Amino acid sequence: MKNYRKIFRIQDKRAIEALYKNVEVMQAAGQYPEEFDMPITLQYELMSECNLYCKHCYNGSGEHHTTRMTVERWKELSCHVVGHGGIFQAILSGGEPLLLGNDLFDVMDILHDDGTSFVIITNGFLLSREKVQRLKKYRYYWLQVSIDADTSELHDDFRQVKGSWEHAVHGAFEVSSAGIPLVIAHTVTPKTLERLPMMAKLVYRLGASSLMVGQVLPSGRANRYAEEIYLSPGQENRMYELIETLAQEYRGKLELQRSSGIKNQFDRYQIGPNLGCIIRPNGDVRLDCMAPFVMGNVLEEDFYDIWQRRGRRIWSDPRVQEFIASVDEEAQSGAIRNYVDADVRLDA
């Protein structure tokens, strides 16, 4: 068997090198900025509450109810963002963002009216036809539904709520039927590895444009279930082999994407200016979902001020650089265990 792990890592590194050269040339020519006055993209983690209890949840949603950002606060933040120039992309996640009910639309409307396009990340449980019809009015990069098996038995066991597979599948079909670009996120475990061809068949039938495939990352709740849900190096290699084979089989019909490693993501983020950050349910402004650094809190100071003082150049902070250097490419983790150890506050 080919060493797909090595092949893909070489490909990823070459892509990083090419991107770095392109950005360097464009900045030298004055065609690309050194910094952005406001982020290009913002991720709103709208709540810590969740209606599922997934074994691999990277931020432990549904476990610690740390939500301090009320709907009114999210609306105020959105108005503040729009008032300072707005953003191109808003990623709405949680927890489970659809638990916000109709209040979700009030938050989206503020950004939508300013020209923002959306990514919604949901487990699909609450994607009824009525809900999807209301979501149709907005612009999307994509709407992402997580489906982790081609059978209810395996998916429901992984998500730890009976009926979650049926809701996700029905909801995903409603999304694609409504003309909203649908992406299915699929996390591979030892139990589901060899079922990836059946999973691709299901996703194609659901009308998705893309299937995003990856393994469990060592973060949050996943650490408790490590022996059950982590892939061995050999299994990871087999996953990449299947992705490569299926990508050829579904060429022109369904795009198969593999998620890149944490180290690769961090290397990519360090090229050029910082593009975005995350607002957590407690108001913390976090660097990235896998980078445990907080640069401020929007309940305590204006987001624009936080971004100007720390956000624009945060990837060059020595503490962030030290953490990135500690990330082991094989273990996919660094000196600080993400959503296990306390976040490092850069505003202290």
Class of domain 39-259: alpha beta
Average pLDDT, the chain: 96
What pLDDT was estimated at residue 62? Answer: 86
> At residue 273, does pLDDT exceed 80?
yes
What pLDDT was estimated at residue 295? Answer: 97
This prediction's pTM = 0.96
Residue identified by tokens 């409504």 is 178
- pLDDT of 45-95, one tens digit each? 999 999 999 999 999 998 877 789 999 999 999 999 999 999 999 999 999
> At residue 20, does pLDDT exceed 90?
yes
> At residue 110, does pLDDT exceed 80?
yes
What pLDDT was estimated at residue 155? Answer: 99
- pLDDT of 315-333, one tens digit each? 999 999 999 999 988 888 8
In 3D space, the residue among 56, 15, 81, 108 whose CA is nearest the CA of residue 277 turns out to be 81
> At residue 134, does pLDDT exceed 80?
yes
> Would you say 93 and 143 are in contact if contact means Cβ atoms under 8 Å apart?
no
Band of residue 18 on the pLDDT scale cut at 50, 70, 90: very high
Percent of the chain with pLDDT over 70: 100
Rounded to whole angstroms, what are the CA distances from 56 to 52, 91, 199? 11, 20, 19
- pLDDT of 226-269, one tens digit each? 999 999 999 999 999 999 999 999 999 999 999 988 999 999 99
| Domain map (residue ranges) of the chain | 39-259
d(CA 345, CA 242): 41
> At residue 185, does pLDDT exceed 80?
yes
* Most distant CA pair in the chain, distance: 56
Percent of the chain with pLDDT over 90: 92
> At residue 288, does pLDDT exceed 80?
yes
pLDDT (mean) for 301-311: 97
Q: Which strand ranges, in their side-by-side order, compose the sheet holding 89-93?
A: 255-258, 210-215, 182-188, 140-146, 117-122, 89-93, 41-45, 276-279, 284-288, 291-297, 344-345
